[in-house]
Structure formats: structure tokens, C-alpha cells
Amino acid sequence: MRTLALVFVSLLSLRVAADPIIGEVAPALDLPDLDGHVHALPRKRITIVDFGTTWCGPCHEALARLEPLARELDVQLIVVDVKESPALVREFFADRDKTPALVVLDKDGAASVRWGRHLYPTTFIVDDAGVIRFINRGCGPHYGERIAARVRALLAPKPSALK
């Protein structure tokens, strides 16, 4: 019986990293852009982080909604391409006119795992303190409106303390 208890406690100590959740500090995102410059998740700025690929149709739909939103609301948009070659990603974005996105490459998919991406696209909204405030998996109906509403809520002035 004691051996069984020790095995159980040992298994509990082998905690598998859980997916990030709303309210937690966002995982690290130190990834290279298309020119090889490594970028970290910006602090002190609301950021939309979108995981996807060039072959994913819903990712194209999401990007079509995120780009104008990032431009309109002046927030950082980071597009994380998962496990594709820099040449393919560069070609895909060459056709897009002046994307406001910072495009980074998750060459081995490690960042995707850290961020709990289980579906393309997966979109995270991170506040100016680096805390995840919203997670959207997939695109679907009203995707753009959901993301816009969450970002606008973060940008809204905070009520001042009572005097």
C-alpha cells in the first residue's frame, strides 16, 4: 500500500505543463521574424497574438479581420506561423499590402505548445501587463466582432477612484 502511495505521489510531481488560461501571465514568445531578428512579447502595449499557417483557410479569414482591427485600434498584432519555412511565409505575406502584423516563425512548434494552441487559428489578447485576457480558438461567425469587443474593452478608460 505504501509503495502504491509513493508511486501516486511521484506521478503527481510529474506535472505536465498546462495550457495558459485567461488571467495568467502569457508564456514567453521569443521568436524570429522573417529576417531572423528575435522578438519578445511587448509589454506596456495591448497585443493580439494569432497562431496559424499559410495553408489554413480560417487563418486567412482571421487575418483579414485582425489586420484592419490592429490598424484601427493601434494595437500590436503578432502573427505566429507554426512549422513552415521562412520562404513560404515570406511569399504569403509578400502578397499582402502593408500588413500591420509582426510575423514571427515558430519553426519547431515549441511556442505553439507553450501557448496551448490546439486549433488553427488560435488568437490570444494580452493586456499591457502581459496577462492573457481572452482566448479564441478557430475563426467562425462573429470572430472579428468578438476580438474587437475584447480589445476595445481593454482600451476603454478605467474609472477613476472615488474621491
The per-residue pLDDT for range 53-108, each reduced to its tens digit, is 999 999 999 999 999 999 999 999 999 999 999 999 999 988 776 677 899 999 99
pLDDT digits (tens, 9 = 90+) for 10-27: 444 444 457 889 999 999
Cell 482571421 maps to which residue? 62
| 81 is a domain residue | yes
The reply to whether omega before 121 is within 30° of 0 (cis) is yes
**Assigned domain for 163 exists:** no
**Domain count across the chain:** 1
If phi > 0 it is left, if psi is from -120 to 50 it is alpha, else beta; for residue 96 that is beta
* Residue 20 included in any domain: no
**Mean pLDDT over the full length of the chain:** 87
Q: What's the pLDDT at 136?
A: 96
Residue 49 lies in a domain: yes
* C-alpha cell of residue 75: 494595437
Q: How confident is the model at residue 9 (pLDDT cuts 50, 70, 90)?
A: very low
Global pTM reads 0.85
Which CATH number goes with the domain that contains 105?
A: 3.40.30.10
Which residues lie across from 16 on neighbouring strands?
none
Write out the residue range of the structural domain in which residue 128 sits: 44-155
